[in-house]
Structure 1
Amino acid sequence: MADGVVHAGGRPSHEAAEELDRTVIAVATAEFMRGGYAATSVEHIAKVIGCSKATIYRRYPSKKELFRAVVHERCQHMVAILHNQSGGIADPMDAIKDMLRRFLDFLLVPETVETYRILIMDCQQFASITADLDRAIEPLHQRMTYLLGQVLGWPDTPANRAEVAMLEMSLRGLVTGWPLHQMLSGHKPFKSDEDKDRFFEASWNVLASAVRVRIASGPPV
């Protein structure tokens, strides 16, 4: 039985129901991450929690919807990146750096990596859930694109906005692409936090240099 779940007769209190909701998501996350989607049953999750399958199905009508809720929980952590210190950093390049570092840390959390792995392994089945994740990332993309536009200082035209958006995706991939690929391949990209710091600073220096070049070259003709 999961810690903190108390079972008693009758209808549970609002607080107990909320606690059970949190427990279901926490246990489902752990079990999906440990065994994968296909090998993890709602029955098994219910057994780990110490409740009935009906209790879970009253909240989530299918295993897929339960997994969607797990992905949504990951998305909430993503949204938190947008509401942290970067909003109060005056210099837009410093704000971009702050957001990229926290985004990198988020991507390397095992639960995030395994969520990506499950979605990639059966992308057709989870197309709508992948779309949910894409929508969760979109505000981060929009915020960083806005900040990058401030740094570049180009006139606000449709062509320039499209160019800035493409540049933002390329620069974000420079920082996050290799570490995430390593994690998805089952490898640990960094031996220590110090190694991760060195990688990030090296990537950031390349990124900052690329931005300076684009400032000097000006907007696309």
Structure 2
Amino acid sequence: MVEGVAHSGGRPSHEAAEELDRTVIDVATTEFMSRGYAATSVERIAKVIGCSKATIYRRYPSKKELFRAVVHVRCQGMVAILQDGPETMPDPMDAIKDMLRRFLDFLLVPETVETYRILIMDCQQFASITADLDAAIEPLHQRMNMLLGKVLGWPDTPRNRAEISLMEMSLRGLVTGWPLHQMLSGHTPFANEDEKHRFFEASWNVLESAVRQRIASGPPA
């Protein structure tokens, strides 16, 4: 039984119910990430917690819905990236750099990597959950697009917005693509924090140079 989860019978208090909700998500996250989706059972999660399967099914009608809730919690962590820092920075390039650095850190968390791995392994089964993840990431794209638009100084037209969106995806991939691919492949991309810092700064220099070139060339004709 997980420490702190007690069962004395009767209707649980609001506080006890909230604590149990958190415990279910925490244990489910650990089980899904360590065992994978297929090898994880609601029965196993209930056993680790020390509750009945019915207790979990009252909250989540299926294993898939429980996994959806786990992904939702990971998404909340991603959204938190948007809440501190960038808006207090007067230079939009500084804000972009800060956001990308924190986004890279978030992507390299083992739970995040394993979530991506599970979704990729059976993308058809998890299509709706993947859509939830995409929707959760959308504010990050919008913020990056807004900041990049400020840096470029282009007129706000549909064509320019589309071009900025393509640039944002390309530039973000420059920083995050290789490390995430390494993690998904079972490799450790960086031996230590210093190595990760050097990679980020090198990627940022390339990104910054690309943005300067687009400023010089101007918006699409």
TM range (shorter): over 0.9
Deviations 1:58-90 (A, max 9, x none): 000000000000000000001100101112111
CA distance in 1, matches of 2:135, 2:207: 25
**Aligned position for 2:218:** 218
CA distance in 1, matches of 2:122, 2:34: 17
Map 1:49-198; keep pairs closer than 5 Å. 49-198=49-198
CA distance in 1, matches of 2:87, 2:37: 36
**Aligned position for 2:199:** 199
**Aligned position for 2:8:** 8
Identity between Structure 1 and Structure 2 (%)? 83
| Deviant stretches of 4+, over 2 Å | none
Q: Normalising by structure 2, what TM-score?
A: 0.99
Deviation at 1:23, TM superposition (A): 0.2
> What letter is aligned with 1:83?
Q
Q: Normalising by structure 1, what TM-score?
A: 0.99
Deviation at 1:7, TM superposition (A): 1.3
**Aligned position for 1:19:** 19
Deviations 1:8-41 (A, max 9, x none): 1111100000000000000000000000000000
Deviation at 1:122, TM superposition (A): 0.1
SS in 1 for 2:211: helix
Deviation at 1:2, TM superposition (A): 1.0
Give ranges in structure 2 of 5+ residues lacking alignment.
none
CA distance in 2, matches of 1:172, 1:108: 15
CA distance in 2, matches of 1:130, 1:61: 19
CA distance in 2, matches of 1:124, 1:194: 38
Q: CA RMSD in A?
A: 0.5
> What letter is aligned with 2:123?
C
> What letter is aligned with 1:58?
R
